Amino acid sequence: MTENWRTDRIGSALRGENPTVLRRLDAGFAVIGDVQFLPGYSVLLADDPRAERLSGLPKGRRLSFLADMDRLGEAVERACRRLDPAFRRVNLEILGNTDPFLHAHVWPRYEWEPAGLVGVPVWLYPRDRWTGERFALGPRHDALREAIGGELDRLRSMN
């Protein structure tokens, strides 16, 4: 598999070629983030590559996307709480400032975060957290991937 999935995240997920996909949801794909300086960081990708913003979806699909975001957020919360007793909360964000496709960020937050960063948006973390190999998604995150995926499955069966 080539690295082309990075330039077409939704298309590659639709084709089954995106290695970050955790689960297919009702209106999108739950994926684990490329960086893991906050372990459990995940993203919900809309399954319509033409949708650039939430309002670009018909009302029913918007509600499905938001329900998927809720489900992914709860799955990340459950998995991260179980794996790290310093887990604090989950932050959910739909931005749209950079990538031209609808997606939502799910950021777990922890007590062990540096004092100057624990109460601010993750986007203020130093550049090395975003680009350093030490924080890149890799095989060492397999247990985390499995935990979040398992929680997504449990939550689906509860509905």
Domain boundaries, the chain: 3-158
How many residues are listed for the chain in this entry?
Answer: 159
| Tens-level pLDDT at each residue, the chain (159 residues) | 456 888 889 999 999 999 999 999 999 999 999 999 999 999 999 999 999 999 999 999 999 999 999 999 999 999 999 999 999 999 999 998 888 899 999 999 999 999 999 999 999 999 999 999 999 999 999 999 999 999 999 999 886
What's the chain look like in SS3?
CCHHHHHCHHHHHHCCCCCCEEEECCCEEEEECCECCCCCCEEEEECCCCCCCHHHCCHHHHHHHHHHHHHHHHHHHHHHHHHCCCEEEEEEECCCCCCCCCEEEEEEEECCCCCCCCCCCHHHCCHHHHHCHHHECCHHHHHHHHHHHHHHHHHHHHC
Which class does domain 3-158 fall in? alpha beta
- Output the pTM of the full model: 0.94
CA separation for the pair 105, 89 (Å, rounded)? 14
